[in-house]
Structure 1
C-alpha cells in the first residue's frame, strides 16, 4: 500500500492554480515533502476559495487549471518521485446553477435520473413544498421579490429559465405549455405563424403527458428549432417583458416549478433538504444509495486508475448516513493499495471505529494532544479564578452546561426546520408510543434535549442493538439529557427503550428504529459543529488556544505519561493516521496556540498584566443600552487573540489591525450574544472595533505594556513551537505541513489562515540553510537562535526532521515506540524508536517558563546541570544529533546538558552493530 512519508497541504483556487504549484515542487521536495495533499480540485462554484462547493465532480475545476496543466503537474511530480493525496467531498455539492445534476431535476422533475440523488424530502408536510425543493436564496419574501422585479422569466440558450439576481434556474419543461400560453395571451395579435402550426400544439400536449426524459428531450429540441428565427425570438422577448411586469402571471409559472424560492432566513425555521451544517448553498447527497456512490466517484476512480491519485482524504465523513458502508464501498472500489484518511473530529477519550477500512484521521486528534501537552495541568484552578474575576458571569455555568445551552440555541433559532423534519420522520415511521400519557410536544422536547446532550459528534452504528463505544456514548447522552430535563424523564425513558431495547411491539419496529437512529446520527454532527465550534468556542474564553477544531476547552492539559499512552495507542491502531497541527479550518495558527499555552506557566504574571490592562483601557470602554461594549468576555478574548497573532518581531504588518478587526467581527457574530450573522448589530460591532483601534494607537499605555508582554510569551512560545514541529514529524503517524507553516504561523481564523504563501522567501531561506549548515553547524545554529523571529529556526527543524524521517520511513511506521524515563526531571518529554538495528531518540524540553529566563535558550550545564536521560535496554552507546551533528556517548544514560548543548530540541540517531 502507498504510504506517504510526509504531506503538504495545498489550497487551490483561482489565484493559486496547478501552474502556480509547479515551480514550488523542487522546493517542496528539497524540504522533505513526498506527497502533495490537495484541496478539492473538481469543478466548483465560480470564485470558490476552498473547493468544497463542488458543482461537478466529474471534471477538474477550470479556474485552477486545464487538463493539460494537471497532467503536466502530474508528470513533474512523477519526475520528482512525489505523490498526490486528494481531498474529496462525498457529503454535499453546491446548490448552484452550475450544478448540472440539480438543474436537471429542476427541468425534468421525477423524470430526472438525479431526482433522488440529493437528500430532499419531496413529500414534505408543508403542501407548498410537496414535489418542490426549497430554494432559500431571496433577500426578501417571494411576494416582495416579484413586486420589485427581482425574480424574472428569461429565455436563452437551453430555453426558458427563472432568473433571480445573478442566478438562473431552468424552468421545468412541464411548465413550458403554461409559459407559452401566457405569452400567447400577451401577444395573440402578432403571434408568429410558426407557433400557430398544429405541430406546436401536439408537441405541447405531449409535454404534459410524456414522462420519459429522452422523449421529453427530443420534444424540447423540436420546440427550440421553432424558436430560433428572429421574428419568433422578438415575439418571445416582448411577451416575457409583459409576464415579468405581472406578479400574478409570474407566480402562476413559479407554481409549476420543481423548486420554491423563499427568503434565505426561512431555512432557520423550515427546510426540506439536508444542508451542510446551516449553509443553504450546500445541498447534501444521498451517498448511502449505491447508484449515487458509483456515479459520484466515476471521475475520482478514473484519476486513481491513471495513477494521478495515490490516496484519498474523505471530507466530513460524519455527514454520511452510513460511514462504515461508504468506506467499505470505497475501499472495494480503489483496492487495498490506496491510502485513505477521513476528516473526523474525535473527543480526547473517543476512538475511531476499528472496523473502518482506512489509515486513520486527518490529524485533529494529534493537534489536540500536542496542544494539551503544552498546557500546564497545575494551572487550571488559577486560570478558572482569573477568568471568573474578569468575567464574573462565566462562573454561573460550567462548560458542559454552556455547550448544552448553545446547542439548544442553535436548535431553536437556526435548525428548527431540521428538528421538525426529524420528528416528522419519527411519526411517519410509526414510532410514537402506543401508551397514553405522552404528548407530541413533550416527545419532541425530549428528542431535542437528547440530541443536544450528545457528548461527541455522533454514533456510527448501522445495526441494532447498539454495541461497544457507541453504546457507552449513547448511555452518556441519556445521562446528560436526564440531568438537563428532569421533567421529561418518562419521554427520555421511552427514547432509551427505542434505541436500546431489542424487542418492541410495533410492526417493523427494529427496521424503523434503526432508520430513525441513523438519521439522528446525521443530525448530531452539524449540531455539535454549530453549537460547539461555531458558538461555544466564541463564548468560553478561559484559554482560547483550546477553542480549536478537534480540541476540548474543558480539558486543561495532559501529562507526559498521558501523551505516551496516546502515542502507544496511536502506534498500535492507527500508525498511518495524519499528524496535523494546522489546517484550513483551524481557528488560529499552530504557533499562535503554543504561545497562548505559555500563559499557563505564568498565571501570576498573566493575572497582573490583565489587571494592568483593565486599568489602562478602561477609558475606551463604552456603554450601549446598559451593556458594556465590548463586553468583559469579549475583551478577555481580544487580549488573548492579540497575543496569539502579534508578529514575532513585534512589528505589525500594515494590514495587521484590519485582519484583527475582521477576526473580531467574526468572533462577535459567532458568539451570537450581542450580534450575529443573520442580524448584525452594527452599532455594537463598531464600538468594539473602535475599542480595538483605540488601544492599539501609538503612545497608549496599553500598547507599550502589551508589546513587552507579547515579546516575553513569544520567546517561550517559539520554543514550544519547535518542539511541536519535531513531535509532529517524529511521533506515530504521517506528518502533515499546512501550506506555509514551515515558517511561523500566527494566523487567525479563516479567511486569514488562507492568505497567499510567499514561496519565494521560503525557497531563499531553505537555500541559505543548506549553504550555512553544510560545513559545521555551530555558527549557523547561533545565527538562527539570535534571529529566531524570522522563522528560519522553525524551517530548520522542519527540514532536518523531514529529511531524517524520509531516510528512515519504516522506522517511524513499523518500529516500536519507546517512552523514555528521565532521572528526576519532569521538564522533558522523550521517546525512542527502534526497528531492528535502527534507533532514534526524540527529546524536547517542557515547562520552559520555569526552566529558563526570558530570551535565554535552555542550553548547556547552566540549565540542565547533571540531569540525565535514561536509555532503553540494549540501546546503542553512541548517538548523533541530526540538528547539530554532535556525537554523544553514554552507557545507560545521556547528559541533558550534552543533548541540549547547542540546540533547544533534539533528535538522536544510531544503529546497533
Structure 2
C-alpha cells in the first residue's frame, strides 16, 4: 500500500455519493459505568425517530483502562471491553441496520495510549526488547538518540527513583509497571532500571521524550502509518467491518500528525473505493484542504468558524478592543500568539525540534533557524507538494524576525520545501503540535475578548463574517466538498454551540457590556484581566452552571492560563482564590451576582435566536451535518470533559414527541429539537433537495438582518443580529421573494411570491421551507 495520492476517479465519486450519509448523530461512549455499546442500543430508536441517517460512534477499540474517551487505543485488534466488547458491537450494528441507520466509526491513526505501559502489549514489547522488538518500527521513535526517554517522573526525579520497586519481572515506579529486559535483572531495582532500553526522566525534561507524541501528551505515543505493516495492523478491523457491512464510513482523528496524510487517505480508498471518509483537520481562515486528498472533506471546524462569526456584530469590535486596552491588553492577539509559539518551541516541543535539528547537522545554526520558522508558522501544517504558501510566508517572517540567521533560514527552507526530504516530512508533523499547544491550549485561555471566537478552527484575531463572505464560502464548499461533514459542537470544542451563540449577543451590546465589566473589575479586581474576562464570559454563556462544572472550569482555565498555576505545578490556593472571585459574580447574595443574572436574562432570548439560526443554516447547508449528542437541545456545555456527560434522553424524547406542535422558544429547548428533527427528516426523505446553493436576499429596511440560502428544493432563512432588529422596530415591511409554492416545515404554513418576513418568521426566528 502507501500508493501515491491521486485524484479520485469519476466512478469512485459516484460511489462516494451513494455511500455518504445524509446526516450523522454523534454518540460519545465513556465506557462502564457510563455509556457503552450495550446501553446505547436503546438510544438508536430515538436517533432514528429524530431523523438522523447515521450513528457516528466515538472510538471503540481497546483503550487504556478507565479511559473516558478511547482516543488512547492500546490494542487495535479488539473492541474495548469497557464499552461492551465484540458481542455488543455486533448487537449494536445489527439494531442500527434494522432501523436503517448507517454506522460511522472514529479512527485514531496518529497515536496509541501508553500512559499505562502494561496495558499496551505492543509498547510493552518495545520497552522490554528495545530495537529488537517486532514493534520497534511501529512507533515513531528516534532510536538514534539513545535510550528511549520517558518523561514520567516528578520535576525532581531523585526521590521517585529512590522508591523504585521490583515485583517479579517488572519494575514499579509511581504505581506504574515497567518491563525488565532478559538478562538485566541482577542487582538493586535502581541498578536494574539503569540497564533497560528506556530511561525514566522528569516530566518537564526538555530533551524528552524521544518519541513523537500527540501534542505534548506523554501518554499518547505516535505510530507510523507510512509503514505498510502498521497500516494493515492498525486499520484492519475498520476495513473488515466496512467489508462486512457493519460500518459505512470513517472519521479520522488528527491526520495532521501523519507523515503522509494523502497516502493514508489513498490507501483507505484503495481498500474500499467510494468509502465516505472525513479526516479531522484544523484549517486556518482561507486555508483549504487540497482537492487531491481522497476523502469527502473535513469534519467541519471550518464551517463552524464561519457560522459563529456570522452572528457577531462587526460594530461591536472596537468597544471590546477599548475594554481590553483599558486593562492593558493588546489591540490584537498577534504578539501574544507569537510569544506563546516561542514558549512552546523552547518548552513542550523542544525535543521534537531537537530531533529536526539532528536531521540538519550540515547547516550551521539549524536549530535557531528552525525555531524562527516554526514561530512564524501560522497553520497546522503544509501538505507538500500541494501547498507551500504558508511555508514561504513563515520563512519570510523568520528572516524579518532574525535577519542575522538569514543564511541558515534559507538553507533550512530549501530542505523544507522538498516534499521528499525527511526533514520536510517531519517538520510537517511537528508544526501541528505547536499550533495545538500554543494557540488552542494556551492563547484560547489567555485572550478573553469575545471568547466565543476562541474555538477550534477559528482565531480570536478574526472577529466577524459578513453575509456576502459567508455565501461565498458556502457556495465554494458546495462546489468542492459537498459531502464533507459539518458541525457546531464536538467532544473537543471549548464551549457548547449555544454558549457561543449566547455570547455573540454581547457583540451587539458591546458598549453596555464594556461599561459594566469596567465597573465590576474595578470594584472586584480579578487576578488577571484576561483570566477574569474568560471566566466571566463562561459564567454568562453557560448559565446556570453547576458547582462541579464551575469548579472544574476554573481549575482548567487557570492552569491553561498558566501564570500562577499549571497542570505540572498546581497552586491550589490561587485556584481557590479565583473560584471565590467568580462566585462573587454568580451568587444571588451579591450585587454583582444579581447584575450578571440580569445580563443573562437580557441576552438569553437573543441567544436562542442565534442558536436556531446557525443550527438551521448548518442542517440545511452544504455538507453532511453532524448533531453532537444532546445538542439537539440547548448545548450549554463548557470544555471537555464537561461536554461528554450523560445526556438526558428521556427529556429529549418528550420534546421530540411534541415536535408536531408550535412549541415555544424557552428553557425546555423544544423549539430546537423541533428544528433539528424537521431538518434531519427532510434530508433523509428528500436528499435530492439539498443540492446546489444560491443566496436568498431580502428587500426592505431590515434586509441586512436576514441570512438565508436556497438549495434545489429547500430554502433556509434565519435572523441575524436580533438585538439590532428589535432596536429598529422589527421586520416592518421587509420581504423575501419565493418562486413557486413553499411549505414551512416548522409551522406547516404555505408561502409563495413576495412574503413579509414579519409573517414568515412570526413563530420562530428561522424557517426551513420545502418546495411543494
TM-score w.r.t. length of structure 1: 0.80
What residue number does 1:402 align with? 336
Matched, 1:388 2:325: yes
What residue number does 1:449 align with? 372
On the 8 A contact 1:269/1:415 being kept in 2, the answer is no
User: Following TM superposition, by how much is the alpha carbon of 1:386 offset from its aligned partner in structure 2, in angstroms?
Assistant: 2.0
What residue number does 1:312 align with? 250
On the 8 A contact 2:323/2:518 being kept in 1, the answer is no
In structure 1, C-alpha distance between the alignment counterparts of 2:607 and 2:478, rounded to whole Å? 28
Matched, 1:593 2:460: no
- For residues 448-498 of structure 1, the C-alpha deviation after alignment (integer angstroms, 9 at most, x for no partner) is 01111111110011xxxx55xx22212211222233324433332333344
What residue number does 1:233 align with? none
Change (3 A) 1:145 1:499: closer
The structure 2 residue matched to 1:725, chosen from 615, 629, 648, is 615
What residue number does 1:478 align with? 395
What residue number does 1:869 align with? 736
On the 8 A contact 1:31/1:799 being kept in 2, the answer is yes
4+ residue runs over 6 A deviation: none
In structure 2, C-alpha distance between the alignment counterparts of 1:497 and 1:92, rounded to whole Å? 29
User: Following TM superposition, by how much is the alpha carbon of 1:170 offset from its aligned partner in structure 2, in angstroms?
Assistant: 2.6
The structure 2 residue matched to 1:62, chosen from 70, 81, 91, is 81
What residue number does 2:694 align with? 818
Counterparts of 1:150-161 in structure 2, within 5 Å, are: 151-155=164-168, 160-161=169-170
In structure 1, C-alpha distance between the alignment counterparts of 2:578 and 2:224, rounded to whole Å? 43
SS of residue paired to 1:865: coil
SS of residue paired to 2:622: coil
In structure 2, C-alpha distance between the alignment counterparts of 1:363 and 1:608, rounded to whole Å? 36
User: Following TM superposition, by how much is the alpha carbon of 1:113 offset from its aligned partner in structure 2, in angstroms?
Assistant: 1.6
In structure 2, C-alpha distance between the alignment counterparts of 1:145 and 1:902, rounded to whole Å? 65
- For residues 853-891 of structure 1, the C-alpha deviation after alignment (integer angstroms, 9 at most, x for no partner) is 6xxxx9xxx7322211134xxx32x2211111111121x
- For residues 415-457 of structure 1, the C-alpha deviation after alignment (integer angstroms, 9 at most, x for no partner) is 2222211111222xx4x2xxxxxx43xx322210111111111
Change (3 A) 1:17 1:736: same
Change (3 A) 1:312 1:690: same
The structure 2 residue matched to 1:133, chosen from 144, 148, 157, is 148
On the 8 A contact 1:384/1:542 being kept in 2, the answer is yes
In structure 2, C-alpha distance between the alignment counterparts of 1:301 and 1:908, rounded to whole Å? 39
User: Following TM superposition, by how much is the alpha carbon of 1:601 offset from its aligned partner in structure 2, in angstroms?
Assistant: 1.1
What residue number does 2:514 align with? 607
What residue number does 1:713 align with? 603
What CA RMSD, in Å, does the superposition of the two structures yield over aligned residues?
A: 1.9
What residue number does 1:19 align with? 38
In structure 2, C-alpha distance between the alignment counterparts of 1:587 and 1:411, rounded to whole Å? 24
On the 8 A contact 1:174/1:256 being kept in 2, the answer is no
What residue number does 2:48 align with? 29
- For residues 558-592 of structure 1, the C-alpha deviation after alignment (integer angstroms, 9 at most, x for no partner) is 11011110001100010011110000000001000
Matched, 1:260 2:199: yes
User: Following TM superposition, by how much is the alpha carbon of 1:109 offset from its aligned partner in structure 2, in angstroms?
Assistant: 3.2
What residue number does 1:425 align with? 359
SS of residue paired to 2:461: coil
In structure 2, C-alpha distance between the alignment counterparts of 1:903 and 1:261, rounded to whole Å? 60
On the 8 A contact 2:586/2:597 being kept in 1, the answer is no
Unaligned 5+ segments in structure 2 are: 1-14
SS of residue paired to 1:110: helix
In structure 2, C-alpha distance between the alignment counterparts of 1:669 and 1:901, rounded to whole Å? 46
Matched, 1:106 2:119: no
On the 8 A contact 2:207/2:350 being kept in 1, the answer is yes
SS of residue paired to 1:830: strand
In structure 1, C-alpha distance between the alignment counterparts of 2:161 and 2:354, rounded to whole Å? 29
What residue number does 2:555 align with? 665
Change (3 A) 1:789 1:143: closer
What residue number does 1:230 align with? none
Change (3 A) 1:703 1:144: closer
Change (3 A) 1:768 1:270: same
On the 8 A contact 1:6/1:802 being kept in 2, the answer is yes
User: Following TM superposition, by how much is the alpha carbon of 1:833 offset from its aligned partner in structure 2, in angstroms?
Assistant: 1.1
What residue number does 2:99 align with? 80
SS of residue paired to 2:62: strand
In structure 2, C-alpha distance between the alignment counterparts of 1:36 and 1:479, rounded to whole Å? 46
In structure 1, C-alpha distance between the alignment counterparts of 2:463 and 2:157, rounded to whole Å? 50
User: Following TM superposition, by how much is the alpha carbon of 1:37 offset from its aligned partner in structure 2, in angstroms?
Assistant: 0.7
Matched, 1:340 2:277: yes
On the 8 A contact 1:108/1:174 being kept in 2, the answer is no
Change (3 A) 1:263 1:832: same
What residue number does 2:714 align with? 840
SS of residue paired to 1:677: coil
On the 8 A contact 1:455/1:473 being kept in 2, the answer is yes
Q: Of the two, which has the highest radius of gyration?
A: 1
SS of residue paired to 2:736: strand
On the 8 A contact 2:456/2:494 being kept in 1, the answer is yes
User: Following TM superposition, by how much is the alpha carbon of 1:143 offset from its aligned partner in structure 2, in angstroms?
Assistant: 4.4
- For residues 695-742 of structure 1, the C-alpha deviation after alignment (integer angstroms, 9 at most, x for no partner) is 333321111111111111111011010111111110001110111111
In structure 2, C-alpha distance between the alignment counterparts of 1:904 and 1:271, rounded to whole Å? 53
SS of residue paired to 2:75: strand
SS of residue paired to 2:302: helix
The structure 1 residue matched to 2:410, chosen from 471, 488, 493, is 493
Change (3 A) 1:823 1:694: closer
User: Following TM superposition, by how much is the alpha carbon of 1:251 offset from its aligned partner in structure 2, in angstroms?
Assistant: 3.2
What residue number does 2:538 align with? 641
In structure 2, C-alpha distance between the alignment counterparts of 1:26 and 1:345, rounded to whole Å? 33
What residue number does 1:851 align with? 725
What residue number does 2:294 align with? 357
In structure 1, C-alpha distance between the alignment counterparts of 2:424 and 2:676, rounded to whole Å? 45
In structure 1, C-alpha distance between the alignment counterparts of 2:651 and 2:38, rounded to whole Å? 19
Matched, 1:904 2:771: no
What residue number does 2:687 align with? 809
Query: How many positions carry a matched residue from both structures?
Result: 749
User: Following TM superposition, by how much is the alpha carbon of 1:798 offset from its aligned partner in structure 2, in angstroms?
Assistant: 0.8
SS of residue paired to 2:658: helix
What residue number does 2:23 align with? 6
What residue number does 1:889 align with? 752
In structure 2, C-alpha distance between the alignment counterparts of 1:751 and 1:113, rounded to whole Å? 36
- For residues 295-343 of structure 1, the C-alpha deviation after alignment (integer angstroms, 9 at most, x for no partner) is 211222222211111101110010001111111112112222x210000
- For residues 380-416 of structure 1, the C-alpha deviation after alignment (integer angstroms, 9 at most, x for no partner) is 2222112212x21334xx3222211101111112222
In structure 2, C-alpha distance between the alignment counterparts of 1:9 and 1:38, rounded to whole Å? 6
Matched, 1:122 2:143: yes
Unaligned 5+ segments in structure 1 are: 125-129, 183-242, 244-248, 433-438, 501-509, 622-628, 774-779
What residue number does 2:632 align with? 742
On the 8 A contact 1:58/1:300 being kept in 2, the answer is no
On the 8 A contact 1:269/1:414 being kept in 2, the answer is no
SS of residue paired to 2:330: helix
On the 8 A contact 1:578/1:736 being kept in 2, the answer is yes
User: Following TM superposition, by how much is the alpha carbon of 1:378 offset from its aligned partner in structure 2, in angstroms?
Assistant: 2.5
In structure 2, C-alpha distance between the alignment counterparts of 1:3 and 1:380, rounded to whole Å? 40
